[in-house]
Amino acid sequence: MALHPDRLFPIEPDARGIARRLFSAVERLPIIAPHGHTDPLWYANDEAFPDPASLFVKPDHYIFRMLYSQGVRLEDLGVPRQDGGPVEADGRKIWRLFAKNFYLFRGTPSRLWFEHALETVFGIEERLGEKNADALYDRIAERLTEPSMRPRALYKQFGIEVISTTDAATDQLAAHDAILKSGWDGRVIPAYRPDAVVDASRTDFITNVEDFVALAGTKLDYEGYLEAHRVRRAYFKRRGATSSDHGHPNARTADLPVSAASALFERVLKGASPEDADLFRAQMLTEMARMSIEDGLVMQIHPGSYRNHNPALFERFGTDKGADIPRSTGYVEELKPLLDAFGNDPRLTLVLFTLDETSYSRELAPLAGHYPALRLGPAWWFHDSPEGMRRFRELTTETAGFYNTVGFNDDTRAYMSIPARHDMARRVDCAYLARLVADHRLEEDEAVEIAHDLAYRLAKQTYKL
Amino acid sequence: MALHPDRLFPIEPDARGIARRLFSAVERLPIIAPHGHTDPLWYANDEAFPDPASLFVKPDHYIFRMLYSQGVRLEDLGVPRQDGGPVEADGRKIWRLFAKNFYLFRGTPSRLWFEHALETVFGIEERLGEKNADALYDRIAERLTEPSMRPRALYKQFGIEVISTTDAATDQLAAHDAILKSGWDGRVIPAYRPDAVVDASRTDFITNVEDFVALAGTKLDYEGYLEAHRVRRAYFKRRGATSSDHGHPNARTADLPVSAASALFERVLKGASPEDADLFRAQMLTEMARMSIEDGLVMQIHPGSYRNHNPALFERFGTDKGADIPRSTGYVEELKPLLDAFGNDPRLTLVLFTLDETSYSRELAPLAGHYPALRLGPAWWFHDSPEGMRRFRELTTETAGFYNTVGFNDDTRAYMSIPARHDMARRVDCAYLARLVADHRLEEDEAVEIAHDLAYRLAKQTYKL
Amino acid sequence: MALHPDRLFPIEPDARGIARRLFSAVERLPIIAPHGHTDPLWYANDEAFPDPASLFVKPDHYIFRMLYSQGVRLEDLGVPRQDGGPVEADGRKIWRLFAKNFYLFRGTPSRLWFEHALETVFGIEERLGEKNADALYDRIAERLTEPSMRPRALYKQFGIEVISTTDAATDQLAAHDAILKSGWDGRVIPAYRPDAVVDASRTDFITNVEDFVALAGTKLDYEGYLEAHRVRRAYFKRRGATSSDHGHPNARTADLPVSAASALFERVLKGASPEDADLFRAQMLTEMARMSIEDGLVMQIHPGSYRNHNPALFERFGTDKGADIPRSTGYVEELKPLLDAFGNDPRLTLVLFTLDETSYSRELAPLAGHYPALRLGPAWWFHDSPEGMRRFRELTTETAGFYNTVGFNDDTRAYMSIPARHDMARRVDCAYLARLVADHRLEEDEAVEIAHDLAYRLAKQTYKL
């Protein structure tokens, strides 16, 4: 299936023509990737990717989630077991299983991303299936040995201008340092993700905090803990970080008096009740906002995922195995303590994400269309898809406009999918704009400007890149 | 209004052309009706339907709900009163009242179903109104006397391959036995619906349970009660049942230790508190899943309706009078106990329905796109409509794909509407697929295959028919 | 940007042609404005509007909300401070700030309303920007001095047949009396909005109630309080009122025994707990329904806004500054006490609004498609927009039909936007109907009739105008 130049554009010829013109103006803009999960070691070591299965199947929870839902065992896909037990090691076998079940991805973005990579990176225009599984495996495997397929070469080929990884607060960022020292001119920056030292419901929380203050050289009390955040944020900033990121079960914030916050910290250090853990996460969001005003890091909240919903799978294979399920997420009461404190402060940029699309028009667009500190992140995770991105625009634009949104985030650990995801986002935004032009809500010269803003400028500006 | 061959297809000529081609490949496929509420006595006795009002108005809560909302009294529509008091008995008068108010159904699926039946069954292409009410009444009434209008003849005319009724756990299935004994080659199978012996909030619950265990020949304790389910499920299976169905106020499940479950059973048998009734329903869903793994019945959950919301109407006319109102329904926490126990077991097939469309993209698609045991039932009840079915596909496909859905269920007690409903579902699915082909997310040969799967194969396979 | 005659119509040529024909039949119908917030003094005094900034920027929270969200200070937009402190007084400077940031409104209804007024009232077809800000300011300012720009002349130019204001229960309606006495033939009627004497969480509640009973000449006990409502409703009715309106944080209703309600009243008069305040509001909705059955006023409920979410802004600038944020709003349990009492009474007309679009298909359409007393108000506030109105129809029509909806409400205090808003609503409804005709769900003669009903007849009939 060769990529069609009009894919994802409106079907009506007039609107399609407009979309083509808009897209041609943004198609080749550099990629700004302000939030993602690629491994900084790829850029540091610049080693060849192993076989096709290790590239496309084993690390991609979008892929094995779907296969698993239809009865394929994760062991047979080579997903490593927590206990180190045997799993399929033959990349070709894994690839065949994927190929045989490739029809399951019909209608999904994974299908479109995969085929974009196949064609633009590997020059393959065939549809994957049982019959050509081996042939395509061989072609990809061969290509992967070429120098042009190394991470740094691909970074250039993909047109990336800057990419942010996401890193634990205790990460020493050795890979980032190695990249900087190497003299390579790619820009790979870290983002400060302190969940492991903020979420007191984790079994490793207390150890994490101990390591954290030790690393920062501060005391193990509340003041020392906050100071450790300041120390580590500065450490990240020196390596190029411009943002922090916070993955919480909900969007709750709190703004306790220092004495109460300090007492809470002492309690959670002894093993937190669920309510104390929730309150501590809430308090820390407000503390992070306070620090953002001081140090200028853009703050991101990614709330609303019930992580590791499937305990049997979690025990066998660990986190990020496709068993994270969104749930209803409120923002109006939840964000109020933080917003009461800092919502009117133009020095703060707080980017909100959601997995609960009902919040787009009801809560997020009205909030972002009022508070100077708030911006809306793009359609996220399950909603990083053609219909999901369309709904995001249809449900937020009329209340928040385009300029309270921040452009696209690819949010991925699947390197090959990065250009595909940006391509999709640009197409869907151009399709949306083309419809507004075609029914005369907007003029085409404005749409060209907006398309450019959504594809490039807003991400660069919002994330201070 | 003659049925237009392009009805419900995309408006754009290219996409419409694709939809025509897809639909032509599935239009005449046999009907698989794995879940519905037709009366098995119709097929057993094969008697003529009475007058047009008894066919189209009196039994159809979609119809009299709308008329009632605009001030028409149910008595004047011939809806029987609980106290046996007088209601309109003249079918022609009822029909005239329906005809006069037929404009109220503009834009509703009821209108489309009704006109499909008028034209395809009765050869009437006129729009119903006050002026032709009597003439159409006469034409329909006359047709109803013909042998070709008997239930068994219509079953053939409609192209039904198999149809499931829904039957109480204590139903002896005499009608099904009569059908089997008659030698007729239609396939009418029961489904096990134990709500009356599971919902302890019902005033008749205790009596129902007593009858239930008596019928099964088991003891009136928890073990006997569970055994009675096994006995009755086997009884249903012997008459062709392949599924159970569970209509609960919410999707809560529980997996109590046997001792706690047994104690709960003892309590609810003495009159249940609301919380105990809720917990007992929750526990029983898990027990039903356990039995499904043993006996292979496909399990369906239809949650989220606030039944009999209008107490005055309920007292006067009883259940199923259009006063069941959906409410917010969660699945993520609610299903967890059941899924923890059986979600990874490929022997279980659990089909989830919803009346809360917000759960499609937020909860149901992510759950079904992960757990091997889960499948998504089609757009249900109020959402069994062109826009409702379109939203279902747009909100679930990108995360769950097509193959975690189960094809169409007509879910109706209105016999005449069955081919109309399947026709609508096939058209809307083909329209959706045509748009994916037209904007190059899918190729047409794949879309043909999916259209066939959605119209026929998935229902047959999922429900083991 | 000249207004395009096809704006907001479907893009497909066939559907666009149908939309044109439908719209041409309703474009020039008189405006029925049964619910809004224009100032009755405008019509009473018929004075010229001051400068362009006072007309378009300072009073429109849709406008300054967006500017504020992007860092513009309300002081710089001339929004008056609560403490009387200095704010920008130079209309031209305010206008320039608006012009410079006009691009922020791309894709919003505010943009479309503004340009509709510019062109149809001021004859300006240019797009506002920094370069032409002064020139346009001068042209508008000059026009505003003409007699044809006075409120009464505009009322005629706009084609208004009747317009309702919204007035506090203690308002003496002097402006309405002055209009009546003036002999002018415009029809400006009040609506009874008793929130200030119903919401016991307000700091001025007790004073308000004391003034209220004093004004009505009744006693300060529960019976006297209820009687005061009857007295004031009659006072409003004599000045043309046909409706009451209730802006509550949620849709909760209650139907307490008189003794309990009376005791509750005594408690809230001493300072209400949050729960008592909520319960009192709930009880009063049911009392208002009871009085509506007596006096025939149509009842409207506008629930679900978290008012004054931003305390710093509230303290500085007061209410209605764009800081009202919707939240999740349920109707099924909430309305039950009121509906149990009066839901089946055809003498009651209760119009429901929502800011939570998830309730459209899940709760509101099923409720309105059943209860004779219920009707659905149009897409409200943030959803009074092209996409919002489209979603309203797509999510309600299939279950509630067209005839359980009530036509359009402009709900605005921005006089210039009234014809623009009705124009938009008529266009979006015609576009929706055109799609139903184009895909053969409706015939065109029916669509013409519905378009007329939605644009004119239903509002007139439902609100008894």
pLDDT tens-digit series, residues B118-144: 999 999 999 999 999 999 999 999 999
Q: Do A404 and C12 make contact, defined as CB atoms within 8 angstroms?
A: no
Q: What is the pLDDT of residue B289?
A: 98
Q: Which residues, numbered 18 to 77 in chain B, qualify as contacts with chain C under a Cβ-Cβ cut-off of 8 Å? A: 65-66, 68-71
pLDDT interval class at B1 (50, 70, 90): low
How confident is the model at residue A1, as a pLDDT?
Answer: 63
User: For an interface test with C, which of B102, B307, B387, B424 has the most C Cβ atoms less than 10 Å from its Cβ?
Assistant: B387
Asked whether the beta carbons of residue C326 and residue A450 sit closer than 8 angstroms, the reply is no
The pLDDT, as a whole number, for residue B290 is: 98
- The nearest alpha carbon in chain B to A112 belongs to B441
Nearest to B454 by CA among B412, B417, B403, B400: B403
pLDDT in tens, C444-463: 999 999 999 999 999 999 99
> Which positions in chain A touch B462 (Cβ < 8 Å)?
none
Whether A66 sits inside 8 A of B369 (CB atoms) is yes
Contact B163, B38 (CB under 8 A): yes
The predicted model gives A190-219 an average pLDDT of: 97
| Residues B429/B454, Cβ–Cβ less than 8 Å | yes
Percent helix / strand / coil, chain B, rounded to 5: 55, 10, 40
Strands A31-33 and A167-168: what pairing? Answer: unpaired
**Mean of pLDDT over chain C:** 97
Q: What was the pLDDT predicted at C1?
A: 62
A339 touches chain C (CB under 8 A): yes
Cβ of A441 and C386 within 8 Å? yes
Residue C77 and residue C92: Cα distance in Å, rounded? 10
For the cut 70, the answer to whether the pLDDT of residue A145 exceeds it is: yes
- Cβ-contact B75, B87 below 8 angstroms: yes
When CB atoms are compared, the residue of C362, C402, C404 closest to B357 is: C362
- CB within 8 Å: B127 and C443: yes
**For residues B71-78, average pLDDT:** 97
Cβ atoms of residues B304 and B355 within 8 Å: yes
**For residues B410 and B31, what is the distance between their CA atoms, to the nearest angstrom?**
10
Pairing label, strands A305-306, A325-326: antiparallel
Question: Alpha carbon C23 to chain centroid distance?
Answer: 23
State mean pLDDT over B19-36.
Answer: 98
Residue C274 forms contact with A (CB below 8 Å) = no
Cβ distance of A358 and B362 shorter than 8 Å:
yes
**Crossing angle of helices B274-295 and B222-238, rounded to 10°:** 50
Please report, rounded to a whole number, the percentage of residues in chain C having pLDDT higher than 90.
Answer: 99
CB contact under 8 A, C370 and B306: no
Question: What does DSSP say about strands C305-306 and A374-376: parallel, antiparallel, or unpaired?
Answer: unpaired
Whether residues A361 and C127 touch (CB distance < 8 A) is answered with: no
- Residues counted in chain B: 465
* Sheet bearing B31-33, strands edge to edge: B31-33, B160-164, B188-189
Residues C232 and C248: their CA atoms lie apart, in Å, by 20
DSSP track, B232-282: HHHHHHHTT--EEEEEESS-------HHHHHHHHHHHTT---HHHHHHHHH
Whether the Cβ atoms of residue A414 and residue C402 lie closer than 8 Å to each other: no
- Token output for B268: 């609810």
User: Chain C partners of B68 at a C-beta cutoff of 8 Å?
Assistant: 370, 372
The domains found in chain C, sorted by start residue, are 13-46+150-462 (3.20.20.140), 48-149 (1.10.2020.10)
How much is the pLDDT for B75? 97
Q: Check: CB of residue B165 under 8 Å from CB of residue B173.
A: no
**pLDDT at A2 (0 to 100):** 85
Percent of chain B at pLDDT above 90? 99
Closest-CA residue to C256 (of C222, C230, C228, C304):
C222
For residues C244 and C194, is the Cβ–Cβ distance under 8 A?
Answer: yes
Nearest-angstrom CA–CA distance, C446 and C440: 12
> Using alpha carbons only, what angle is made at residue B351 by residues B346 and B352, rounded to the nearest 5 degrees?
130
Q: CA-CA distance, A121 to A159, in Å (whole number)?
A: 13
Predicted pLDDT of residue B124: 97
Residue of C310, C386, C388 with shortest CB distance to A370: C310
Residue B219, Cβ neighbours under 10 Å: how many? 12
Q: Which of C399, C429, C449, C457 to mutate to test the interface with B (most CBs of B within 10 A)?
A: C399
Sheet containing C31-33, strands listed edge to edge, beginning at the edge strand earlier in sequence: C31-33, C160-164, C188-189
DSSP helix/strand/coil, C31: strand
The residue whose two tokens read 């031209």 is C92
| Yes or no, beta carbons of C371 and B306 under 8 Å apart | no
Using the beta-carbon criterion (under 8 Å), do B70 and C340 form an inter-chain contact?
A: no
Query: Is the minimum CB–CB distance between B444 and chain A shorter than 8 Å?
Result: no
Helix, strand or coil, per DSSP, at residue C181: helix
**Are the C-beta atoms of B419 and B120 separated by less than 8 Å?**
yes
Looking at this protein, which amino acid is placed at residue C345? D
State the Cα torsion C271-C273-C277-C278 to the nearest 10°: 180
Average pLDDT of every residue of chain B: 97
- Look at residue A97 in the predicted model and tell me its pLDDT: 98
Asked if B8 and C440 come within 8 Å (Cβ–Cβ), the reply is yes
The 10 Å Cβ neighbour count of residue A445 is 9
Contact between A200 and A272 under an 8 Å Cβ cutoff? The reply is: yes
pLDDT at residue number B2: 85
pLDDT digits (tens, 9 = 90+) for C79-136: 999 999 999 999 999 999 999 999 999 999 999 999 999 999 999 999 999 999 999 9
Task: State the Cα–Cα distance between residues C49 and C150, nearest whole angstrom.
Answer: 7
Burial class (CB in 10 A: 0-12, 13-18, 19+), B406: buried
Query: Which of C:112-151 have CB within 8 Å of A?
Result: 112, 127
Whether residue B315 lies within 8 A of chain C, CB to CB, comes out as: no
Which 157-196 residues of chain A touch chain B by CB within 8 A? Answer: none
Which residues from B are below 8 Å from A353, CB to CB? none
In SS3 terms, chain A reads as: CCCCCCCCCCCCHHHHHHHHHHHHHHCCCCEEECCCCCCHHHHHHCCCCCCHHHHHCCCCHHHHHHHHHCCCCHHHHCCCCCCCCCCCCCHHHHHHHHHHCHHHHCCCHHHHHHHHHHHHHHCCCCCCCCCCHHHHHHHHHHHHCCHHHCHHHHHHHHCEEEEECCEECCCCCHHHHHHHHHCCCCCEECCEECHHHCCCCCCCHHHHHHHHHHHHCCCCCHHHHHHHHHHHHHHHHHCCCCEEEEEECCCCCCCCCHHHHHHHHHHHCCCCCHHHHHHHHHHHHHHHHHHHHHHCCEEEEEECEECCCCHHHHHHHCCCCCCCEECCCCCCCCCHHHHHHHCCCCCCCEEECCCCCHHHHHHHHHHHCCCCCEEECCCCHHHCCHHHHHHHHHHHHHHHCCCCECCCCCCCCCCCHHHHHHHHHHHHHHHHHHHHHHCCCCCHHHHHHHHHHHHHHHHHHHCCC
**How many Å apart are CA C141 and CA C152, to the nearest integer?**
18
Residue C418 near residue C464 (C-beta atoms within 8 A): no
Residue A166's identity, in one-letter code, is: T
Residue with tokens 């309920």: B314
The ipTM (two decimal places) reads: 0.97
> CB distance B103–C446 less than 8 Å?
yes
Does the structure show a pLDDT above 80 at B257? yes
Q: Is the pLDDT of residue C21 over 80?
A: yes
